[in-house]
Amino acid sequence: MSTVAITAADINKLRQMTGAGMMDCRKALTETNGDFEAAVDWLRKKGAKVAALRGDREAKEGVVIAQTTADNKTGIAVCISCETDFVSKNADFVAFAQSIADAAIANNVKNVDELNNVAINGAKIADLVNDKLASIGEKIGISKFERVDADYVASYIHGANRIGVLVGMNKAAAEAGRDVAMQIAAMNPVAVSADAVPAAAIERERAIVTEQIKNDPKMAGKPDEMIAKIAEGKLNAFFKESTLLNQAFVKDNGKTVGDYLKSVDSSLVVTEFKRVALG
């Protein structure tokens, strides 16, 4: 297997992503042949400080728009990326991004390829993007696109168009939908509930916490059964912190998001969500 050259920029990028020390980051990237995701796992397994596993520190610039159809049955979230915040904060660029989102809604777009072929005033969006690139002098593009269809969809934009959230629900509940969308923007859950976490994500987390336990000097010589039991306990903590319904509700930490929804309407259900952030 070929060896990837690890550059100072790579090390700095991993430091920004994780908060780990320079030497730890160099070692992690060397051990994983430059694979950043694997390097983050390596650091966690070795017990290194990892400050922002799902943070937006590496976010590139741009504009995120999240909005719904008039009947709230469909929502789209789209990120129009650019290189600098000077461009992303420009009113004309924000309006350009909004026009693309409006076109996505008006044309019932389902993916980026469809969106690029939609016309605005006779010109395809792909061509308009290229024109904008030429006039601004920065690389821009439609970097992310998500869609949610449900009986009711709520949308929310956070932080001057830096994060967009869509929440699908089984019935109309505008205030609850906005509250849940704000929760998702702030806490970035991986799934609605523990049952909805992908099996691959569970196994990845199980491998990480198991390795952390094995590397703890206090656990030296302990039987595998004990280590496995402790790992399951850590997984349960992961589910509590990382799944929407089990998270502490940001507007009232005395209850979970699931408790909050029940207090609004015992039959109210979040069917899915999408979170689009810069980066």
Burial status of residue 18 (CB atoms within 10 A of its CB: 0-12, 13-18, 19 or more): buried
For 75-135, give the DSSP string: EEEEEEEES-HHHHT-HHHHHHHHHHHHHHHHTT--SHHHHHH-EETTEEHHHHHHHHHHH
As a whole number of angstroms, the distance between CA 79 and CA 101 comes to 9
- Residue whose entry in the numeric block shows the structure tokens 């730890």: 24
Q: What is the pLDDT along the chain (279 residues), one digit of tens a residue?
A: 457 889 988 888 887 777 677 888 899 999 999 998 898 888 878 766 564 443 343 337 999 999 999 999 999 999 999 988 899 999 999 999 999 999 999 999 999 999 999 999 999 999 898 888 777 877 888 999 999 999 999 999 998 899 999 999 999 999 999 999 999 999 999 999 988 888 888 888 888 888 888 888 888 888 888 888 888 888 878 887 889 999 999 999 999 999 999 999 999 999 999 999 997
SS3 167: strand
CA distances from 264 to 235, 269, 272 (A): 29, 11, 18
pLDDT the model gives residue 55: 36
For 117-131, give the DSSP string: H-EETTEEHHHHHHH
pLDDT the model gives residue 231: 85
Which stretches of the chain are DSSP H helices? 8-18, 22-31, 36-45, 85-88, 91-106, 112-117, 125-136, 174-187, 199-214, 224-242, 257-264
Whole-prediction pTM value?
0.72
